[in-house]
Structure 1
Amino acid sequence: MNGSHTNGSSVSHDQMSRPMSAASRLRAMLSRPDQITACPGVYDGLTARIAIAQGFPCIYMTGAGTAASKLGMPDLGLVTMNDMLANAAMIASLDRTIPLIADADTGYGGPPMVSRTVKGYISAGIAGMHIEDQVLMKRCGHLGGKEIVGREEYYSRIRAAVMAREEERSTTGGDIVIIARTDALQSFGFDEAVERLKACIEIGADVAFLEGVTSKEDAKKFTSLFEGTPCLLNNVPGGATPDMTVEEARKLGYRLIIYPGLALNAVMLSVTAAYKELHEKGSVHVSDDQLKAGVKRMFNVVGLQECIAFDAKAGGTSYSKGV
C-alpha cells in the first residue's frame, strides 16, 4: 500500500503538511496549565506590527481601542460588527503565525447575528473571541452602571457561538476559541458571575473571563473554581482589577492575561505631549537618534524591507534603485 492511498480515517499529505491555524496555535498555548500567555492590546496596523516585532506570541484587539481609533468615540456600544470585523481581519492578516484574540462585545444581536459574527471572525482567521452578557448598548467593563441581560439570553449567545463554530468546523474546517465573558460581578456578585461562566463552559465555551474582579483573593478563588478550564485576566491600570504582573497572574492560576489599554495610554500620553509642545513652542524637539533613523524606522516596522524583498523575488523592479 503506498502513501497516496486514502480512506475515511487517513490524512492526506497536504493535510499533514498544512501549517497550524491561528486557533490551533492558541489552543496549544492554553493547553499548558502551568504557563500563561501575555497579550498586549493593539488597535491598528502600527500597534499590531510593533507588538509582533517585540516577539509576543499572541496579541489582543481591544474594542475600546477600535472605537477610539476608528470612530474617535468612547467604548459605549457604538462600534458595529462590521467595524470590529474589518479591523480584526486586517490585524490578523499581518502575521498568520501570531494568534489574534479579538473583542466581539455582545455578539451584536440575537442568535442569528451572533452566528454571523462568529463565522465572520473565523473566515478572517481570528484565533479567539470573547462574548459578554451586557445589553447591546454596552460599555467598557471597567466603567460603572453596566446593565446585564438575563441568564438565558446570555446562554443563547454562547450557544449560538458554539453552534456556528461547529457548522464551520464541519463545512470549512474553520475554528475559533470561544471566550465567555461575564460582567455580572458588579451588579449581581461573585456567585452569580461564576454560575454564568460555569454554564457557558458546559455549553461549549473554551475560556472563562470574569470581568472586573476586584481583589487578588477573588481572582484566586475564581481560578480555583475553574480548575482545568483556562481563565483570562483583564489588566486595566486604574480600573476595577488590581494591577498584576504576568507572573502574579500565573501564580493565581490564569493562563491568559490581556493588556487592552497598553498602547492606547502610551500613545495618548506621548502624542499629547508632542502636540502640546508644537502648539505652545512652535517646534518639536527631535533627538539625534530620531534624525539618524529617519522615516525608514517606522516603515521598517510595518514591513518595508519585506515588501522590497517580495517585489524582487517576484521579478519586480519598483525598488531596484533603492528607497
Structure 2
Amino acid sequence: MIAYEEIKVPVSGGELAALRWPATDPQAPTVVALHGITANALSWAAVARQLAGRVTLIAPDLRGRAGSSGLPGPYGIAAHTDDVAALTEALGLERVVLAGHSMGAFVAALAAVRHPDRFGPLLLVDGGIGFPAPTHLTPDELLTAVIGPAMDRLSMTFTDRAAYRAFWRAHPAFAGAWSDEVDAYIQRDLTGEEPALRSSCRIEAIRADGVGLFGEEVLTAVRKLPVGATLLWAARGLMDEEQGLYDEDRLAAADLGGTRVEPVPMKDVNHYTVLTGERGGREIAGRLVALTH
C-alpha cells in the first residue's frame, strides 16, 4: 500500500479527518473521494495506488466514522456535503473533481447541487441514483432492508483484530479478493480496547444517513447537477449476489438528467470490489485521470 498523509480540516463542530495521497507533480490536479455508509477513507487505497501519482487523491473519513467519529451531529447527507465543501475551501481547492462510492456518490451529487462553485465533474461509483422507498416500512425497517448486515456489525464486539479480520474475510463480497489494502481499510474502522473492539461508526450517524438516502432532495440531486456526471455501476451486489444495485432495466426507467451510465466492463465485480479490487480500482483510477485532464 502506498504512503499517505493524515490531515485534518476545520468543519462545523470540530475537525474532519482525511487522507491525502500526493501526486508526483505538485501541480497535478486533485480529486476528492467519498466513501460508503459504514466505510472509511482507506476504502480508496486501491484506487490511490492505481493512480500512480498522476493526481492527488484526498479521501475524508465522513462525519461519524473512523478519524471523524468524534464529530457531533447533526448528521445526514446534507451535513456531509457541507463538510466536503469546507474541506475543499480549507485546502484551497476549486472546481475539484468529486468521486463517491455507494452513499458517497449520493453525497457527491448533492454536494454539487448545494455548492455548485466548488466542484467540477463527478464520478459516481455504484451509487448516487436512488429509487423511492417502500411506503409501508418504518425508517429502521428501511435501513435494515438496505444495509442490514452492515448495521448488525455496528453493535458487535470483537476480541482482537484477528477476529475482525476473520469476520470480514468470511464476507462473500471479498471471497478471492482479499488484499493488504482491504485489511488496512477494515482495521481503520476499529476502536476501543481488546477484548471489546468495535466499529468506530456512530450508529446515530449511520441511521441518519441511511434514512436520508430516501429524502426528496437526495433522490432528485442527480437530475439537477450543474456539472457533468458519470455513474459507473457494478453487475453484482453487496453480498456478491447476481443482482446488483443497478441494472440496465432499472436505469433505463430512471430520470437521470444528463448523467451518463456505464457498466463496469468486468461482470464479476461487485459493489465492494468495484472500489477495493485490483481491476475495479484500475477502472476507477483511469476514469478519474481522464476527468482531470
- TM-score bracket, normalised by the shorter chain, equals 0.3 to 0.5
Structure with larger RCO (C-alpha < 8 A, sep 6+): 2
The structure in which a higher percent of residues are helix is 1
- Structure with higher Rg: it is 1
Give TM-score scaled by structure 2 length: 0.38
